[in-house]
Structure 1
């Protein structure tokens, strides 16, 4: 697909430099190198300042003694990039919105400038540069994985961080654990001049987007597309083509965008999965994206669903 890497969180140019993850001496040198940057996250929210990732130098007081628990993200623009989790910090107030899809709250640490704030990444993802977005997504996914996988899945003992944050080792049974990525098929299903859209309960009134679902064990992406569309909307899909992908660190998904051609059109929804589904013509979608349809709100900016729909509308799928 043309322009596939222009999707949010993709194409930032980060060199992950995996060969350095097993070299403690080189990593220590990079940590001390001039220009090294550390992305700070608090409960999954990256530090942001003036529409950019608010990274600090390793010598900053908040990074004191943090090298052993820092995650090495890679190299970019002549700089080494790391990430450190500051979730142990307790701000004066913990808002009720913490963890919400678009948490509007921001947290400011007393040891950082006033214009630096921990911000829900989905609120600012389209403002970040491609590199900053990739760094933030990688850091959020990795640090989130460490937070939820502290104990060995084989024997239950507490594991320890290894390979600069890209592995966990169990000292009790020797098991190696690696960060997980969960593939999710997201489907641009078309039939002639129309695209199939659905909505989940709790979405803003009138918002519709592409159908999506997790790929199951032993299943191909193409089979997942056909199964999910049939389960959620009762539509049969024939040919399936890959279009583009998007890392989606909420918590650790990889959205695999596909184009499916529907062979049937009668919709029968599964109310457990979705609230509604409908066929929408190009003309209706163009009007919705122009803000002329109050009953049909487009998918959110920054999401691969919006990217794929706009590519279809502008005839850029091939």
Structure 2
């Protein structure tokens, strides 16, 4: 069984209680629950990591009231019978002071995904995605009037009574795919990447397009390779800032490569043996473990050659 993608699997531990988000009395009761936990996120989307352990620095309700009584609060859900909230810190908050006060340091989501356990990494990603939408969605796109938060932070409504349009969190769908042809897989690299790093191809889904068609279009646009059969693999929340990565495997109709749009610096076909040899002599670097791209490559190597990517990399990648 393939490993769960980083930031994914949160439903196994968290009940988002979406059906109770409009029950204001219940929300208020959860906010003062003895076990309530608040995850502070600064305006850049960073949170706080405990100095001595690999864990997030959650605030209690008492700490939240003392330090940030005026900060916006949004319900994330219930985990382990404890309410979990997002605490959105405002511009101008004494962030450096807070690090010393909490015995913690600020941490971004990319680093957190590599350091934290699956549950906290998933909660951080969830909170960051929700906070980003809240910051970016302040005015009605219908009439321009200010919006007000509703449903414990998960919905906005236009304050113009003649409009009253509702706004919901958005996620930008993107595909990412490992394409194979007769024992080799297609990987590409961008000019800005570290030397030797290769990854699967990816791109955003366009309006009126299925996910499978997006795979075929993106691979054709970036590498000039025509793709036939496309199969779903897995997905990954990617709130950097607001995407959902949907992973696929696919089969190419041929190996001709044409870097027509200039997005990629290079694209090549690799056999499992070439990847293993490149990892051994450090001429080949995989995508970061943070990304579903790593899991797609791991799945392909295991299925086609019985090779385990974790063993091949032996801790040599970020």
Q: TM-score, normalised by structure 1?
A: 0.88
Question: 2:2 aligned with 1:3, yes or no?
Answer: yes
Kept after mapping to 2: 8 A contact 1:72/1:164:
yes
Distance in 2, Cα, partners of 1:109 & 1:286:
46
CA distance change for structure 1 residues 111 and 33 in 2, over 3 Å: closer, same or farther? farther
Q: Does 1:113 align with 2:114?
A: no
TM-score, length-scaled by structure 2: 0.88
Shift of 1:90: 5.0
CA distance in 2, matches of 1:219, 1:271: 20
1:281 paired residue among 263, 268, 271: 271
5 Å matches for 1:25-64? Answer: 25-42=25-42, 43-49=44-50, 50-60=53-63, 61-64=66-69
Query: Structure 1 residues 29 and 91, CA, compared in 2 at 3 Å: closer, same or farther?
Result: closer
> SS in structure 1 opposite 2:75?
strand
Indicate the SS of the match to 1:125.
Answer: helix
Is 1:130 the counterpart of 2:130 in the alignment? no
Which of the pair is proportionally richer in helix? Answer: 2
CA deviation map 1:1-26 (0-9, x unaligned)? x336x110011322111011111110
1:196 to 186, 208, 219: 186
When the two structures are aligned, how many residues end up with a matched partner?
Answer: 296
Match of 1:306 among 294, 297, 301: 294
* Secondary structure in structure 2 of the residue aligned to 1:196: strand
Deviations 1:104-163 (A, max 9, x none): xxx66256333x122111012022111111110011011011111111111111101111
Contact 1:245 1:256 (C-alpha < 8 Å) held by counterparts: yes
Distance 2:228 2:248 in 1: 12
5+ unaligned residues in a row in structure 1: which ranges?
93-106
Match of 2:76 in 1: 73
Looking at structure 2, the residues matched to 51 and 89 of structure 1 have their Cα atoms a distance apart, in angstroms, of 27
Identify the residue that residue 236 of structure 1 maps to in structure 2: 226
Task: Give the CA RMSD over aligned residues.
Answer: 1.9
The answer to whether the Cα contact below 8 Å between 2:224 and 2:259 also exists between their aligned partners in 1 is: yes
Question: Structure 2 CA distance, aligned partners of 1:28 and 1:237?
Answer: 53
Task: Provide the rounded CA distance (Å) in 2 between the counterparts of 1:236 and 1:271.
Answer: 15
Partner-residue secondary structure (3-state), 1:240:
strand
CA contact (8 A) 1:108 1:117 kept: no
